[in-house]
Structure 1
Amino acid sequence: MAEFNTTKKNPPPPPKKEREMSFWEHLEELRWNLVRSIAAVLILGIVAFIFKDFIFDKIILAPIREDFLTTQLLCRFADIVGVQALCLDNSQLEIINIKMSGQFLTHMYISIMAGVILAFPYILHEIWSFIQPALKPTEKKYSGGAVFVCSILFLFGVLFSYFLIVPLTINFLGTYQVSEAVANNVSLSSYISTVVSVSLSVGIVFELPVFVFFFTRVGLLTPEFLKKNRKYTLVILLVISAIITPPDIFSQVMVVIPLWGLYELSIVIAKRVHKRRLAAEAE
């Protein structure tokens, strides 16, 4: 007769709960996150340092050249519509170095900034890997998408600034005169500071939908607040665009529309997140 095995199988052990890390363990984890992020910035910064000619001639100093893409497109459009104010002329701007170590320090600074921009997605990944254990399971599913969306928005913001905001800003500030007796000889450090600060600032501004998402999710922001302050936001954007753009409506619209679109997108995101949060609290 066939023998049957009546031995009962032991049930699988319950899943082990993740051990809560101590303060010093969290501090050690944070230290390694910072070390890896800094290492990524340094490695990419060294690469940028090596490609000095390309970085400076093709990227940093390109907005003041006549063959810059934005300058060519605006000049062609100016000829079509008959508004010559649209045609930017930054070629007369003379950039000078007034310090012995100025060009070397500028080279170092730009290399580090290039490393930060290029390593931005990885830095976000390290930030998320540090805070992810503290998130709820429902919040962890957003982590991967958040890193991707933040990286894309930041990249779009930097590119939008570089190809539009930066040339317009240089054209306005570089040609502005309080008197014809004062010539605009711009120092290298001043020019670099303007290009980098404007590009990074707009890149951060483009993260607005992400900030709105998380602030609304934790209850610090509501769609009603954004809608209530919509008109003030529009006025601020119009004032900023009027300052940095040539005196024509087309240039102002080119600057305002993308930024205004981000604000409207943020309102839509806030509505959806706020509705989900209220539904979750009602359960």
Structure 2
Amino acid sequence: MNEEKLQNSNIKLQTFAEHIGELRGRIIITVSILLCLFLISYFSTPFFLGVIKSSATQYGLDLNVFKVTESVKIYIKIMLVQALSATIPIIVVQIYLFIKPALNIQTRKMAILLVPIASILFFFGAFLGFYVISPILLSFFINVSNTLELNTVYNFTDFFDFIFAICIVFGLILELPAFLSFLTLVGIVSVNLLKKLRKFIYPILCLFSMIVTPPDFFSEIIVMSLVFILFEISLLICSVISSKQINNSKKTQN
């Protein structure tokens, strides 16, 4: 109890300028790590370039480049994607360290569990997007081209941007449980509020699913089902977090 009072007094002593200074320091750390990972990714880029090319080859797609500088841009893009993906855990850790002084001891213990979980969910979502969703969507577009009897020329940059967008979207979708859990943990939202807003949230999730998928009923159903399941799982996790917070507050009062 005394430790929590001491913690709260320390928070009050921090000025706005000190908060900004700390935020700037954490941004500098994150950007520095990102730049280092960007340089290191130069050596692993040929491997990921081969993975992308093989995903196109299995569909019989012949990828082309149309500009002299396009090959260099592709290489740099793949390096940047690797660096950004590897920096995700660092970003999550820096966010946690920035808000840590404002959290009590019990909240810190639960929040620190979200750090690895959030990173794992993002990478699993990206993995799901690349190996499950991308093949479904590629099959749809290729079938449309074949039905229309069109001779399509596939650009490597467009193909890479397509795959990258899907991986990012599904990586972010799987962040939903961690995101809502964090908001519940710090008291921004509550389980009761999320349940009351469910009738508004579901149409928004449906609209989101329709936007990020092509006009294919099967693909839209897959994405909608995934988002709905993740939302309901998020509600269960938030309920557990709320129950633990209530129990901890009762123990503290006693």
Q: TM-score, normalised by structure 1?
A: 0.70
- 1:26 maps to 19
Query: Is this contact kept in 2: 1:124–1:147, CA < 8 A?
Result: yes
Letter in 2 for 1:163: Y
Change in 2 beyond 3 A, CA 1:174/1:41: farther
Rounded Cα–Cα distance in structure 1 between residues aligned with 2:201 and 2:99: 32
Letter in 2 for 1:28: G
Question: Structure 1: 5+ residue runs without aligned partners?
Answer: 1-14, 67-89
Could you tell me how far 1:29 is from its partner in structure 2?
Answer: 1.9
Query: Is this contact kept in 1: 2:184–2:242, CA < 8 A?
Result: yes
Question: Structure 2: 5+ residue runs without aligned partners?
Answer: 1-5
Counterpart pick for 1:141 among 88, 97, 109: 109
- 2:53 maps to 61
Rounded Cα–Cα distance in structure 2 between residues aligned with 1:104 and 1:98: 12
Query: Is this contact kept in 2: 1:169–1:244, CA < 8 A?
Result: no
- Report the count of equivalent residues: 241
Counterpart pick for 1:168 among 114, 117, 136: 136
Query: Is this contact kept in 2: 1:94–1:184, CA < 8 A?
Result: no
Q: Are 2:6 and 1:35 aligned?
A: no
Rounded Cα–Cα distance in structure 2 between residues aligned with 1:162 and 1:195: 7
RMSD after superposition: 3.5
Change in 2 beyond 3 A, CA 1:266/1:111: same
Instruction: Give the alignment of 1:118-129 within 5 angstroms.
Output: 118-129=86-97
% identity of equivalent residues = 20
* 1:62-117 Cα distance to aligned partner (Å, 9 max, x none): 32232xxxxxxxxxxxxxxxxxxxxxxx22x2322122211101111111111111
Query: Is this contact kept in 2: 1:227–1:267, CA < 8 A?
Result: no
Letter in 1 for 2:38: G
- 2:169 maps to 201
- 1:220 maps to 189
Change in 2 beyond 3 A, CA 1:165/1:185: same
Rounded Cα–Cα distance in structure 1 between residues aligned with 2:103 and 2:229: 30
Indicate the larger mover: 216-225 or 146-155: 216-225
Query: Is this contact kept in 2: 1:42–1:112, CA < 8 A?
Result: no
Letter in 2 for 1:162: F
Change in 2 beyond 3 A, CA 1:227/1:213: same
Rounded Cα–Cα distance in structure 2 between residues aligned with 1:272 and 1:174: 45
Letter in 1 for 2:196: F
SS at structure 1 position matched to 2:189: coil
Letter in 1 for 2:87: A
Instruction: Give the alignment of 1:45-124 within 5 angstroms.
Output: 45-58=38-51, 60-66=52-58, 90-91=59-60, 93-124=61-92
Query: Is this contact kept in 2: 1:157–1:204, CA < 8 A?
Result: yes
Could you tell me how far 1:154 is from its partner in structure 2?
Answer: 0.9
- 2:237 maps to 269
Could you tell me how far 1:44 is from its partner in structure 2?
Answer: 2.0
Rounded Cα–Cα distance in structure 2 between residues aligned with 1:21 and 1:238: 43
Rounded Cα–Cα distance in structure 2 between residues aligned with 1:53 and 1:244: 34
Rounded Cα–Cα distance in structure 1 between residues aligned with 2:245 and 2:88: 30
Higher CA-based Rg: 1
Rounded Cα–Cα distance in structure 1 between residues aligned with 2:29 and 2:213: 42
Change in 2 beyond 3 A, CA 1:25/1:227: closer
